[in-house]
Structure 1
């Protein structure tokens, strides 16, 4: 039962990444090592964010029992804007067509995040003697993060395009800010509504799906206009 549980968690994480890489055309572009390079920039970006957080936002000695400190969390979440800069660096370093750029950046970024934040948890926790739905939730959350990072990479790429319709630039910018502040918004919503872990996961999936579909529509319009696919 222990190995079966761990195998299910591993399959939930690995299979979507494999199919994304295999059937999206990335394998034809030889983007395997580019994904690793994107992961390296992810690690560098997270180290810079940790230094900024440790310097300017030290951990409080007294926990806030009444609720979350919205202003403090807002400033901490603002540091996540560095992720947009990291993705921009990745996109500028990848040659090729638009879809290859955004998929390589998104898959590499999401893969590095999962390895650094969830792999050890699944390896140690999911192989335990007792079954816990938390590890299934973390595996599903990894898939949502994959879609989210591909969406964010696409928005960064759209924002950097000079041939993007100027009327769409404010929309793309607003969606980039939503991507950056999404964790804070969902945490506040969950705190206000007192939702459980499964409902919170569903809200995150719906939020990510809405962002992804809107981004896909903007990208498809630009691709059709410019003849890039």
Structure 2
């Protein structure tokens, strides 16, 4: 039973990533090693963030408060998350290609590396040793939400660096990037204030990711039609 639960969790995490990779057309472009390269840049970016947090921020300040949400700690962590935008920019500049394949490669590579490092050990140690627990199911579902969010972030970075983007849309893209970076502050703060349950919190995060993804896709589609991508 424990092995069955572990297998379900692994499938819930990684099958959507595989399906996205296969049916987005990346497999036809031989983008597997490009995704690994994006994952390597993710690892390097996280190491740099950890170094900055350990060097310039006090561990007591970054610790969680008794009520489960520390505004100052989340704000400081989110401010360091600006490095993620730089990481995405590096990926998009180093990975050849054009159109949606480049953006999905960056998003999948980044998200897959994050899932492997943050969920792999947890599932192997936790889910493999228990018959069933909703905690691991929730973590697996949240990983799929992160996939949507990271592809959206890659799209926003690509749009932000385009010189042919309509100037009237530049502020919107900038605001969406700021919302993405400080999501740990405003979204987690709202969830803490409203005291949402775990499933409601996942649904709220999915709604936010879907809305941001829809807006980003709309801007990208208009620009792609304009420049002939």
Give the drift of 1:189. 0.8
Give the drift of 1:155. 0.4
Question: Is 2:96 aligned against 1:75?
Answer: no
Partner of 1:49: 49
* Separation in structure 2 between the aligned mates of residue 132 and residue 37 of structure 1, nearest angstrom: 34
Contact 2:39 2:112 in 1 (8 A): yes
Contact 2:64 2:73 in 1 (8 A): no
RMSD of aligned residue pairs (Cα, Å): 1.5
1:76-109 CA deviation, whole Å, 9 max, x = no partner? 2110010000000000011111211101100000
Partner of 1:132: 133
Partner of 1:96: 97
* Separation in structure 1 between the aligned mates of residue 146 and residue 50 of structure 2, nearest angstrom: 20
Give runs of aligned pairs for residues 11-50 of structure 1, distance below 5 A.
11-50=11-50
Give the drift of 1:46. 0.3
Partner of 1:215: 216
The TM-score, its normalising length taken from structure 1, stands at: 0.95
SS in 1 for 2:60: coil
1:145-184 CA deviation, whole Å, 9 max, x = no partner? 1111000000000111111101101000110111111122
1:20-48 CA deviation, whole Å, 9 max, x = no partner? 11111111111110101101100000000
Distance 1:63 1:119, change over 3 A: closer
4+ residue runs of structure 1 moved beyond 6 angstroms? none
* Separation in structure 2 between the aligned mates of residue 64 and residue 14 of structure 1, nearest angstrom: 33
Distance 1:11 1:169, change over 3 A: same
Distance 1:47 1:98, change over 3 A: same
* Separation in structure 1 between the aligned mates of residue 91 and residue 146 of structure 2, nearest angstrom: 18
* Separation in structure 2 between the aligned mates of residue 196 and residue 78 of structure 1, nearest angstrom: 27
Give the drift of 1:132. 0.6
* Separation in structure 2 between the aligned mates of residue 183 and residue 115 of structure 1, nearest angstrom: 21
* Separation in structure 1 between the aligned mates of residue 160 and residue 147 of structure 2, nearest angstrom: 20
Partner of 2:155: 154
Give the drift of 1:63. 6.1
* Separation in structure 2 between the aligned mates of residue 9 and residue 101 of structure 1, nearest angstrom: 29
Contact 1:57 1:76 in 2 (8 A): no
Contact 1:114 1:142 in 2 (8 A): yes
Partner of 2:185: 184
* Separation in structure 1 between the aligned mates of residue 47 and residue 174 of structure 2, nearest angstrom: 25
Number of corresponding residues: 228
* Separation in structure 2 between the aligned mates of residue 111 and residue 53 of structure 1, nearest angstrom: 23
Give the drift of 1:129. 3.0
Q: Which runs of no fewer than 5 residues in structure 2 stay unpaired?
A: none
